[in-house]
Amino acid sequence: MLRLAELFNSIADDLEEGARIFRDELRSEQPFIRDLCEHIERFHGKQLRPALVLLTGQACGGARPEHRVLAAVVEMVHLATLVHDDVLDEADIRRRSATVSRQWGNESAVLLGDFLFSHAFRLCSSLDDQFASQLIGRTAVTLCSGEMMQVSNCDNHDLTEAEYFEIIKGKTAALIGTCCLLGARYADADERAVRRMNEFGVGLGTAFQIIDDLLDLIGDEREVGKSLGRDVDKGKLTLPLIHYLRTCTSPRRKEMLALLRGDNARRDGQIAALLADSDSLEYARQTAHKHVRNSLDILAELPPTEARTSLTAMAEFIVARRQ
């Protein structure tokens, strides 16, 4: 199986430098803060967002010092939302490590998330121009709005596909779009290219979240490395279930709704079985593919470079991944 890290050869040094800026920014005199920050180093995981800033920068003319700073910024924003998500979701496992909230309590997790957010904004405002600060501020607002829309639709079994897409655009795709926009803009790409790279990222992020939601329903906990079935537990309807409830027969719909409203221990398996017996999983996968194809079309507008090849492989990886 292809590993994402293999696509990052052309940006290996920049990624390393971004990680150094990340660590330097979070350095603290306080042993407690040092412990927490050491712990979250383990969450870094795929480094998808920093890689996108750097690769789109390279693909649009070349990565500069600003790209490395912004790589650290977007990773901080992302980790802040992960840490706060863990408070929300009472998740037990995150990347095979204990979550911050489980190990140090909700108090520490809320503060650590705020600490990461604050550092992201501070670091961003250290750049010469306001552009990144303004965009990161706006993107953070969009992120929160998406999450809040999700919370307010908890247990709403009539959630429409349009509403689902609005939620995932806010909570996931907006930040990924911003990564690509920043990459292009700080490489001095022209206005149209900057807008297109944002669209590339939004498509990629949308596909990424659809697959993430699919894995939460039918993935293997050991492979994925985090608690699964959380969306159903928290009353969050995702694309396969939205499609299923809209297209299945009336008795099946009743059966599925009863499972979603109930709380029996074998529920996850029963929901997965109903889905496997329908074309809803395939529908979700095809929808993700459609978004990725659109993103690949945008990439084709760029001159051929190693960075563009990596972005292409990354987009293909995202719909093929099992974790």
| Binding stretches for a copy of itself (CB under 8 A) | 28, 30-33, 36, 80-81, 84, 87-88, 105-108, 110-115, 117-119, 121-126, 130, 133-134, 136-138, 140-141, 143-145, 147-149, 151-152
Q: Return d(Cα 196, Cα 104) in angstroms, integer.
A: 42
Q: Return d(Cα 295, Cα 301) in angstroms, integer.
A: 10
Q: Return d(Cα 315, Cα 3) in angstroms, integer.
A: 13
- Least distance from C-beta 276 to a copy of itself, angstroms? 31
- Least distance from C-beta 63 to a copy of itself, angstroms? 22
Collapsed DSSP state (helix, strand, coil) of residue 94? strand
CB closer to a copy of itself, 130 vs 247? 130
Q: Return d(Cα 69, Cα 67) in angstroms, integer.
A: 5
CB closer to a copy of itself, 145 vs 305? 145
Residues 244-259: b if buried by 16+ CB within 10 A, e if exposed:
bbeebeeeeeeebeeb
- Least distance from C-beta 83 to a copy of itself, angstroms? 10
- Least distance from C-beta 128 to a copy of itself, angstroms? 8
User: Alpha carbon of 168 to those of 52, 85, 148, 229, 283: distances in Å?
Assistant: 19, 14, 11, 17, 17
- Least distance from C-beta 211 to a copy of itself, angstroms? 24
CB closer to a copy of itself, 37 vs 239? 37
Residue 235 per-residue DSSP state: T
CB atoms within 10 A of CB 6: 10
Q: Which residues contact 253 (CB under 8 A, 6 or more apart)?
A: 245
Query: Dihedral of CA 145/147/150/154: which sign?
Result: negative
Q: Return d(Cα 150, Cα 154) in angstroms, integer.
A: 6
CB closer to a copy of itself, 22 vs 244? 22
CB closer to a copy of itself, 33 vs 320? 33
- Least distance from C-beta 268 to a copy of itself, angstroms? 21
CB closer to a copy of itself, 226 vs 236? 236
CB closer to a copy of itself, 45 vs 137? 137
- Least distance from C-beta 143 to a copy of itself, angstroms? 7
